[in-house]
Amino acid sequence: MLIVVGGHTRNIGKTSVAAAIITAFPEMNWTAVKITQFGHGLCSTEGSACDCAPAPGENAAHPLALSEEYDAHSGTDSARFLNAGAKRAYWLRTAIGGLGHALPALRRIRGAAQNLIVESNSVLQFLNADLYLCVVDFSNSDFKPTSLRYLDRADALVVTGGESARPAWSGVAPSLWSNKPRFAVSAPHWMTEELRGRILVSRA
């Protein structure tokens, strides 16, 4: 099974939701991957400023960096996956627009995994998920273009931060999200029986 957990912006609970799914289904022996894409002028190897950004038509000096997490208490997001019960956890970094370089690595990870959970929106460009959950906070006005691009493919919304009659988003057509199933979650568990049931349906 492949579950993709995306979201419309940063710091709205995507990693917490992914970790909660891992905890809720320990028998699935999860492998987890967090994907980070960096902007222009930042190196995907270190996530810091560098001079390796490619000129037009050239390949990036560091098209991707993939690291496996082994310490469940290191404090990283991938460590949180291990702490939640994942058997293996990875952090994949690529330049924006360079996720295609990571496909061979992602396919190797997927082939070796019993079940895979990926925190990303952009991975939907290349992989078909059995379940795509889009984490949303109605009070946060930021809406990433990558999330908007795939919002219509979401099987359900996982709502953090509470709902409101009018989300603070602009330029997001209600037809893209208003008719989708919604599951409201919150700390510390980030899971409900209703969301658990929806995952079970996709797993069957």
- Burial of 56 per CB tally in 10 Å (0-12, 13-18, 19+): exposed
Q: What is the pLDDT of residues 92-129, one digit of tens each?
A: 998 888 899 899 999 999 999 999 999 999 999 999 99
Q: What is the pLDDT of residue 95?
A: 83
DSSP labels, 20-79:
HHHHH-GGG-EEEEEEEEE-TTB-TTTSSB-S-PPPTTSPPSS-EEEEEE--TTS-SHHH
Average pLDDT, the chain: 90
SS3 call for 97 = coil
Q: Give CA torsion, residues 51, 55, 58, 64, to 10 deg.
A: 40
Which of 100, 85, 106, 104 shows the shortest CA–CA distance to 34? 106
CATH no. for 2-203: 3.40.50
SS3 call for 189 = coil
Domain boundaries, the chain: 2-203
Q: Indicate yes or no: pTM above 0.75.
A: yes
